[in-house]
């Protein structure tokens, strides 16, 4: 069986023209996904939107799914970096740096986050992100003094509240700064 995932690409090492072409294809894909599901988007459609020759995308990606999987992989890598740079024991004491980094990532990847949360996102990928977030929340609760009972309902409530704020944040074009959003998030009775 063929491995669907292509090797992750370090965008910084790519030629400027290659980066531009990839960005055009990614942007076109996310624009299409605001209107219809991933499975109904063709490479031909993306080429038309990006004003590219029909063969050009195949120099960079296997197919439409490959474009989206690489976008998801990049987001996942960056989100894992946010978790790593904000250990649960530090977030338990002061959640603002974590939330600032989270909103900054949402702002940076606004189009992808908007598609995932508000449009035709990938349910399996969202389930993976939800699981990671809930595990992180459990770790934060365990580091509180005294530790907070992290039952599944409390975790689901917290994740849902933060996801809802992220959803609104990207849907409104990230109008506020990540720091401003982070400042209001911990005031909620969440952490």
pLDDT in tens, 39-73: 899 999 999 998 888 888 888 899 999 999 999 99
Six-digit token string for 184: 């209001």
> For helices 110-118 and 152-171, what crossing angle results, to 10°?
120
Mean pLDDT confidence for 160-177: 93
pLDDT in tens, 89-110: 999 999 999 999 999 999 999 9
The answer, yes or no, to whether residue 167 has pLDDT greater than 60, is yes
Q: What is the pLDDT of residue 155?
A: 86
Model confidence at 2, pLDDT cuts 50, 70, 90, reads very low
Mean pLDDT confidence for 145-150: 74
Q: Report the number of secondary-structure helices (H) and strands (E) in the chain.
A: 9, 0
Query: Of the given ranges (9-18, 110-119, 159-168), which has the lowest mean pLDDT?
Result: 9-18
Model confidence at 9, pLDDT cuts 50, 70, 90, reads low
48 Cβ contact list (under 8 Å, min separation 6): none
Q: What is the pLDDT of residue 129?
A: 92
Model confidence at 11, pLDDT cuts 50, 70, 90, reads low
Beta carbons of 54 and 44 less than 8 angstroms apart: yes
- R_g over Cα of the chain: 18
- Taking the alpha carbons of 33, 3, 123, 87 in that order, is the dihedral positive or negative? negative
Beta carbons of 170 and 118 less than 8 angstroms apart: yes
Model confidence at 121, pLDDT cuts 50, 70, 90, reads confident
Rounded Cα–Cα distance for residues 159 and 136 (Å): 10
**C-alpha closest to that of 95 among 4, 185, 3:** 185
Long-range interactions of 10-18: CB distance < 8 A, separation 24+: 18/60
The answer, yes or no, to whether residue 3 has pLDDT greater than 60, is no
């Amino acid at each position: 069986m063929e491995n669907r995932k292509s090797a992750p690409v370090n965008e910084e090492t790519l030629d400027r023209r290659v980066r531009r072409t990839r960005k055009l294809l990614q942007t076109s894909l996310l624009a299409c996904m605001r209107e219809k599901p991933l499975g109904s988007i063709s490479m031909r459609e993306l080429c038309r939107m990006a004003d590219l020759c029909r063969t050009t995308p195949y120099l960079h990606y296997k197919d439409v799914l490959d474009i989206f999987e690489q976008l998801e992989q990049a987001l996942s890598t960056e989100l894992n970096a946010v978790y790593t740079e904000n250990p649960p024991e530090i977030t338990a004491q002061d959640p603002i740096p974590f939330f600032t980094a989270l909103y900054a990532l949402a702002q940076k990847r606004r189009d992808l986050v908007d598609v995932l949360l508000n449009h035709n996102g990938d349910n399996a990928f969202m389930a993976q992100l939800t699981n990671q977030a809930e595990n992180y929340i459990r770790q934060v609760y365990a580091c509180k003094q005294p530790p907070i009972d992290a039952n599944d309902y409390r975790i689901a409530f917290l994740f849902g509240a933060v996801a809802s704020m992220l959803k609104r944040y990207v849907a409104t074009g990230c109008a506020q700064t990540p720091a401003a959003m982070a400042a209001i998030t911990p005031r909620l009775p969440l952490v």
